């Protein structure tokens, strides 16, 4: 999975800590999401995208290899 979280977070001026607080997770979760090392639940992906002012598919990019797992 690829993510554009860092890019969208920069646009909104949110820190990792602020985004984490808004979506109800720890900052470390945001770090792992931004590195593509953690696949979020649909609920978390929706919350993150909403806070970043984007659609889920704009923030989280799944390739064919991600869908086969």
Q: What is the rounded average pLDDT of the residues 56-64?
A: 88
User: pLDDT tens-digit profile of 30-52?
Assistant: 999 999 899 999 999 999 999 99
Q: What is the rounded average pLDDT of the residues 2-25?
A: 97
Tell me: pLDDT of 68 over 80. Answer: no
If DSSP codes are grouped into helix, strand and coil, which group holds residue 60? Answer: strand
pLDDT for 69 equals 58
Tell me: pLDDT of 12 over 70. Answer: yes
pTM (2 d.p.): 0.88
| Close Cβ partners of 3 (under 8 Å, ≥ 6 residues apart) | 33, 34, 36, 59, 60, 61
């Amino acid at each position: 999975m690829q993510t554009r979280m860092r890019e969208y977070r920069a646009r909104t001026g949110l820190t990792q800590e602020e985004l984490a607080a808004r979506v109800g997770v720890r900052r470390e979760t945001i770090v792992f999401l931004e590195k593509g090392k953690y696949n979020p639940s649909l609920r978390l992906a929706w919350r993150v995208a909403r806070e970043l002012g984007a659609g889920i598919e704009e923030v989280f990019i799944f390739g064919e290899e991600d869908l086969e797992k």
